[in-house]
């Protein structure tokens, strides 16, 4: 890439710093970990691998990185791109071949959203492979904007206050998922991908679906951000500052047994009659 410009250098340092802070805050990577970096061929996962390879060099702990891409047998998928790129980096990698494309096309009617089923099939395959190679952590490229968008998607369409946690243990307990880019915003990642000239592989399965619920939420947040810069960051901070007593989840807070505390100090002072 040659010498970086001042802005490019600042951007790279910012992404590395934010990723390092997220890793430290949530204890994402520990000494001796084998981190499986899931590569889709998109800007986020390329940036994730780039940042983690730098962290591997400077961190006070030792951990291994193995890059994994899942070839879902989409027509026209350029199978040579990722192996060539990963070999140029000298990083250990695996290509997992699984024809989930045919399954999705068979089960999802034409014109309907494919992302949900595609994601579940891909996740299940990658979970299994991580277990097979002894990976202690699975690193995904989701960033701050993904997390905030998921929060609103769950609230609007599923009636639940959930997002994407920076660190997650799978239901079966066999995998720990980490999201080192949790503090990074999409705009920075796009700019970083552009100047690094990552060999982007588009998703032909769902990339043309313009009316996805996620796209609607993304546009809503972008409009908010234009009108009130910093709002997305504020929402993300809110996800880290939850007050259960101010919500309405009876499983999270004991509203049933909430009573006056008879031992509390009265807040009133003596009133003098005038």
List the binding residues. 115, 118, 206
Lookup: tokens for 94: 């695996």
Q: How far is it, in rounded angstroms, from Cα 42 to Cα 133?
A: 24
Which candidate, 83, 84, 86, 117, places its Cα nearest to that of 103? 117
Which candidate, 91, 95, 97, 100, places its Cα nearest to that of 64? 91
Distance in Å from the first CA to the final CA of the chain: 82
Alpha helices in 36-114 (DSSP H): 43-58, 81-89, 100-107
Q: How far is it, in rounded angstroms, from Cα 156 to Cα 170?
A: 24
- Residues that constitute the known binding site for [4Fe-4S] cluster: 115, 118, 206
């Amino acid at each position: 890439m040659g010498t970086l410009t001042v802005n490019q250098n600042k951007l790279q340092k910012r992404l590395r710093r934010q990723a390092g802070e997220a890793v430290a805050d949530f204890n994402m990577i520990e000494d001796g970990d084998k981190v499986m970096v899931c590569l889709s061929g998109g800007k986020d996962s390329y940036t994730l691998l780039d940042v983690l390879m730098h962290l591997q060099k400077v961190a006070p702990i030792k951990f291994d990185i193995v890059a994994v891409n899942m070839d879902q047998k989409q027509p026209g998928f350029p199978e040579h791109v990722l192996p060539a790129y990963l070999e140029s980096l000298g990083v250990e990698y695996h290509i997992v071949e699984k024809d989930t494309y045919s399954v999705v096309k068979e089960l999802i009617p034409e014109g309907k959203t494919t992302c949900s089923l595609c994601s579940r099939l891909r996740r299940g395959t990658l979970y299994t492979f991580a277990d097979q190679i002894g990976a202690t952590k699975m690193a995904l490229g989701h960033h701050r904007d993904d997390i905030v968008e998921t929060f609103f998607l769950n609230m609007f369409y599923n009636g639940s206050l959930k997002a994407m946690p920076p660190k997650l243990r799978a239901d079966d307990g066999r995998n720990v998922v980490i999201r080192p880019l949790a503090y990074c915003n999409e705009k920075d990642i796009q700019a970083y991908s552009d100047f690094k000239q990552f060999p982007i592989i588009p998703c032909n399965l769902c990339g043309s679906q313009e009316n996805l619920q996620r796209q609607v939420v993304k546009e809503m947040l972008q409009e908010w951000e234009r009108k009130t810069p910093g709002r997305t960051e504020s929402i993300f901070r809110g996800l880290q500052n939850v007050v259960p007593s101010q919500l309405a989840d009876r499983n999270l807070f004991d509203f049933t047994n909430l009573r006056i505390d008879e031992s509390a100090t009265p807040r009133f002072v003596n009133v003098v009659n005038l």
